[in-house]
Amino acid sequence: MAFLEITGATKKFGGFVAINDVSFAVERGARHAIIGPNGAGKTTLFNLISGLILPTTGSVTLDGKRLSRMKPHEIVRIGMARSFQKVNVFPRKTAFENVQVALIANRNLQFNPFRDAAGLFRDEVMQLLEQVRLGADSGRRAGELAHGKQKQLELAVALAADPRILLLDEPTAGMSIAETLSSISLIRDIVQQRGITLLFTEHDMNVVFEIASTISVLHHGEIISTGLPDEVRANDDVQRIYLGRE
């Protein structure tokens, strides 16, 4: 049985079919990329998988557990975390406080706002920040960090859930070349060190081929190809539709 399995997933918004009968599997420990042109349905598919929206038909299972009727926070608690295309952090809180809040939420603590929280999970927060290369920026407000570092912080927040599978929606979007190269190295190191299964979307094909062990191609809400990077790169339909080759 695959670790994450999407079976016949369809999502309709009125008469518009955003995702159409999508089926694919993500093996445990894989680095699986979903690629496709703008409007292909990648973010909608991620929203289906992570429970933000329900499929019209079809199912999503994680390690044999059906996710389609679970709430997003319940899905997080059984081992799935994700990031978003737009950075999703508290800009006025420090990097340390952003990760600390995530740990408090994921531990389901009943926090007293009149109690000093400064010491809660200090070692764990710093360990996560060091892992995403932000240890030196722990005291800086998130909104003051460069875009690439904000994406690193968002990754630390996701890792605070101690996920078994991590969904990253365009993790290098808006980054400079130097930030992108650093992000590729960081993502590869973290998933390998922590033994995390990775599912990600990305427009930069250099990033895809550097990270992915498996690639699925989404076009007009349908999966048109799944395979190893070299197989997908050589696929005539992928070259024509996504890579722009005739």
- For residues 137 and 129, what is the distance between their CA atoms, to the nearest angstrom? 8
Domains and CATH numbers, the chain: 1-79+167-182+196-246 (3.40.50.300), 87-162 (no CATH)
pTM of the model: 0.90
Q: What is the DSSP string of 170-235?
A: STTTT--HHHHHHHHHHHHHHHHHHT-EEEEE-S-HHHHHHH-SEEEEEETTEEEEEE-HHHHHH-
Contact 34, 199 (CB under 8 A): yes
Contact 35, 208 (CB under 8 A): yes
Q: What is the mean pLDDT of each run of 10 residues along the chain (246 residues)?
A: 93 95 96 91 94 94 91 92 84 94 80 58 94 95 93 94 94 89 93 95 89 94 93 85 57
- For residues 183 and 166, what is the distance between their CA atoms, to the nearest angstrom? 15
- In one-letter notation, the amino acid at residue 115 is R
- For residues 38 and 203, what is the distance between their CA atoms, to the nearest angstrom? 9
Tell me phi and psi for residue 15, to 5 degrees.
Answer: -90, 0
